[in-house]
């Protein structure tokens, strides 16, 4: 079944925060080019999936989200 839009929004926020904290992702707050932002985010998701040995889809799938929700160390996984 498709994910409820509200949950999707929450998941997206969580993912952005996670990638900012641990994968050096920086969202362009006032960017006119949202597509470019999404593409950079997909790259970062792919990087995170690669680190954890997940399938590198670049998409925010359930397995990736589950991994992001695990308790963890606060030090980034990649060098900024």
Tokens of 66: 């589950």
Looking at beta carbons only, is 2 or 53 nearer to other proteins?
Answer: 53
Nearest residue (CB) to other proteins, 43 versus 77? 77
Which residues from 34-73 bind other proteins, rule CB under 8 A?
Answer: 51-53, 67, 70-73
Q: Work out which of 15, 19, 22, 45 binds other proteins, going by CB under 8 A.
A: 22
Minimal CA–CA distance to 23: which of 55, 48, 57?
48
**C-beta separation of 46 from 56 below 8 A:** yes
14 or 42: CB nearest other proteins: 14
Q: Which residue has the tokens 């589950």?
A: 66
């Amino acid at each position: 079944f498709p994910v409820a839009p509200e949950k999707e929004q929450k998941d997206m926020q969580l993912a952005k925060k996670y990638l900012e904290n641990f994968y050096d992702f920086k969202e362009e707050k006032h960017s006119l080019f949202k597509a470019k932002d999404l593409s950079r985010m997909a790259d970062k998701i792919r990087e995170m999936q690669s680190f954890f040995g997940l399938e590198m889809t670049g998409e925010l799938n359930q397995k990736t989200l589950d991994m992001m929700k695990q308790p963890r160390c606060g030090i980034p996984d990649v060098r900024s």
